[in-house]
Chains A and B, each alone.
Chain A
C-alpha cells in the first residue's frame, strides 16, 4: 500500500486499541518491563500489549517506533517551515524529492486557500541557525530543480507548545464545557 493510500484510510479502532493508544501515545514508561506496567493498567497481559503494538506497526497506524528527540534541545535551534506553490501535477514528485534530505522532517501536501494562501506543499527544514536553514533550502532548490517554484520560509520565533499528539480525548462535551470556564478566566 502506498503512503498516499495509507493516509486516506482512517482506521476503525476498537475500544481496547483506543485504550492501548492512550497508554502509549505519550511514551513508554522508562522501567525494565514497560509493557508489564502498561498491561497492568489495562487489565491485560504483557504479551497481549506487545502483540497489539506489533499489529499497529504492521497495519501502518504506527509510522515509527523508538526514541523521539526534540530538535531544539539538540542544537537545531532554527526550524523553517518552507512552503511551496507547486503545479498540482508535480507535487508528488517534488514532495518526495524534498522529503528525502536529512535536514527535512516533514513533507506534506495541503490545500490552497485562495486568495489568502497559495502554497500547497509544506516541508520542515532544521538547522543550527537561520543562515544554515536558508542555505539548506537553497541546496534543495538546486538539487530538486525548484528554481521556478515560488516558496517562502516561515521561521519559528517562539515555541508555545510541543508534545506528542493526543488521539484519545474521550468525553468531548464535558471537556469542552470545562475548557470554556478556564479559558474565560485566562482571557
Chain B
C-alpha cells in the first residue's frame, strides 16, 4: 500500500514543481516527474505479487503472471510523453531566444 501512496506523493511533487517554480525548464521537469509517477502507478496496478513476465510457454503452465496490459499502456504513454517534452523544450528554447530569459515573471505579454 505504501508504494501506491508514494507514487501519488511523487505526482504531487511534480504538480508542486509545475505550480511554484518560475523557471521554464523547471516547469518542464515538474511535468516530467508527474508523468513518471503516473507511469509507475500504471505499472503497480498491473503488478501481481510473485508474478513473472507474462510469456505463455508450454512448460510454464499455471505460473502466476503480472498483467501485461498496463505495461503496453505505459510504453505508449512514454512515447507520448517524449513528444510532449520535446515540444515543450523546443518552445522553451524559442522563448529564450525571443525574451532572453527563462523567468516566467518576465514573460507576460499576454494578460487580461
Q: Do A and B bind each other?
A: no
